[in-house]
Amino acid sequence: MNKTVLLNNRELSDVEVQSAREAIVAMGKELIERKLVAGSWGNISVKIADGVYAVTPSGRGYASQEPKDIVIIDNACSTLDGELTPSSESKLHTAIYSACPEAKAIIHTHSIYASALAAMRKPVPAIIEDIVQIIGGRVNCAEYALPGTQELADNAVAALNGRKAVLLANHGTVCWGKSLEDALIVSEILEKAAQIAIICQSCGGAVELSSEDAEVMHSFYEEHYSKRQLGLEK
């Protein structure tokens, strides 16, 4: 029989909380394998319920993480459950959840090509179809702010502009999704698009898709193709 736990005045199934912790641990290993992060850099979170989030701990490498290491926090980034210190970027995560109600998971990476554009403080242009279909179009680079600060969180939210991803100047990327798997796809597509953009820059540049075409493709993906991927539409 499932037990319940009271977190942030919400009664939640302990299975639900444990499942979020296990999913984050598995995703951390996936990020290392796909070379989107290294060591303990970057962070991952899952929205369990309104005002209740599971997030990776600060300074703990993904390879050795266990479900018990994952910290449960609230909107104020206060620890609700867990013995370790939550990620120093917890403010970034909670700010995006507040700004994007559809977001159920967030992945912050230091992937090479996207980080290169972030270091140049340049956006990832909408030059390939999958970035507009999945992410929504050009991905902006947020104004620089020190890591772990509220200013960084505010700058990232301001730069999202309806997209599922944003670059953090001289830092890395933040991607959100309707699930952890969705956030991973966004992270991978963003890195692929950044790599293509850098290659194109060395060959004279690329032609960016129009905002009108981007909107058509993104709407089709959200309303139809993504549902087909989940088996919800034929």
45 lies in some domain: yes
pTM exceeding the 0.95 threshold for the entire prediction: no
26 lies in some domain: yes
Q: What is the pLDDT of residue 38?
A: 83
Domain that holds residue 17: 4-229
User: What digits encode the pLDDT tens for the residues 86-113?
Assistant: 999 999 999 999 999 999 999 999 999 9
d(CA 174, CA 166): 6
Number of domains the chain is built from: 1
d(CA 80, CA 203): 51
CATH code of the domain in which 178 resides: 3.40.225.10
Half-sphere exposure of residue 199: CA atoms within 13 angstroms, side-chain side: 8
Per DSSP, what are the bridge partners of residue 142? Answer: 168
164 lies in some domain: yes
Question: So which residues are the catalytic ones?
Answer: 89
Whether 11 shows a pLDDT value over 80: the answer reads no
Per the structure block, which two tokens stand in for 231?
A: 């088996």
89 lies in some domain: yes
234 lies in some domain: no
75 lies in some domain: yes
d(CA 101, CA 11): 21
